[in-house]
Each structure stands twice: as C-alpha cells, then as structure tokens.
Amino acid sequence: MLQSGLIQRFLAIATLRAGPEDLPYSPRLLGLAITLTAALNIPVIQQYSPEARPFLQIALMVGYNAAFLGAALALRGHGQRFMQTATALFGCDAIISLAALPVLLIIGAPGEANATAAFAFFALLIWNIAVVNHILRSALSLSGVLSFGITLLYVFGASLFVRAVTGA
C-alpha cells in the first residue's frame, strides 16, 4: 500500500510544510490517491444526498479537477508538473476527507442547525482551501491574490460543475 515515508510527505503537504514537488512522479500513486479520496467521500454523499449517484458525482469531480489542473498548468507552461500536483491534491483531499468523515457522520452536517458541526465544517473548509492554495501556488509558481482566486475557482468550481451536470 503506502510506505510510511509517502504518508509523511502527504501529511507534510497537508500541514503546509512540503509541496507537490516532494512527491514521486507515479501514475500508480495518483490512482491510489483518487481511489482513496473517492472511497472516503462515497459514504458522505450517500448519507447527505441519498438521491444522488455518488459514483457519478465523484467521477465528475475527478474529471473537473484533473481538467482544471491540466489547463492551469498548461497555461503557465508547467504541464510536466501535472502528475505530482494532481497526486498532492487528491492525496491531501483524502487526508482532509478522513478528518471530515467522523465530523460529518458523528456530529452531523452543517445544515442541521448544529453549531458544533457548522464550526467543524467551516474549519475543515478553511484547511482545505489553505492546502489547495499551498499546492497550486507552488505548482503554478504564483503568489498572492491570483493564486487564491484560482484556488477558489478550483474548490468551488468543482461543486458548481457537478451540481450543474447532475442537478443534485
């Protein structure tokens, strides 16, 4: 599965102490990261959107994120960074999803008028935005407001895209 050194690198990225360049170029590792984040998100989608089709939603999300990342890297002339950057994004999403799973399944969803759940969800969202911004800033060689704007497009654009396609 994952070596302890790789887990440490993913944790370092998720805690803003390393970047995507610290991961190996590995299609297999990217596939594993996508599989892990999908597996962790399926129960949440099933619980909070029972009418939704989780596999379709995840496939659309993965497709959007990969296309967005590929286009952004190509526009900046850094297409060769795709594998490591995508691996970092999906791997860190798995880590954040793992942290979110007990919050969402035990405490509840933020829409349930539960202040603790809403605060925990907000903290996880801020962490996710910080990690994505950290990864994209490094991969795209950007800083400041432009990096943050691209991060917001990446994070919220995926959800909007999935909702537009599925209606869920």
pLDDT at 90: 97
Mean pLDDT across the chain, nearest whole number? 90
Cβ–Cβ < 8 Å for 41, 158: no
- For the stretch 22-63, pLDDT in tens is 999 999 999 999 999 999 988 877 776 767 788 898 999 999
Mean pLDDT of 124-152: 95
- Which of the two residues, 3 and 14, has the higher pLDDT score? 14
pLDDT confidence of 163, banded at 50, 70, 90?
confident
- For the stretch 84-113, pLDDT in tens is 999 999 999 999 999 988 877 776 655 555
Domain housing 111:
4-166
Nearest to 126 by CA among 137, 134, 138, 115: 134
In the chain, the number of structural domains is 1
Cβ–Cβ < 8 Å for 50, 43: no
Burial 45-57 (b: 16+ CB within 10 A, else e): beeeeeebebeeb
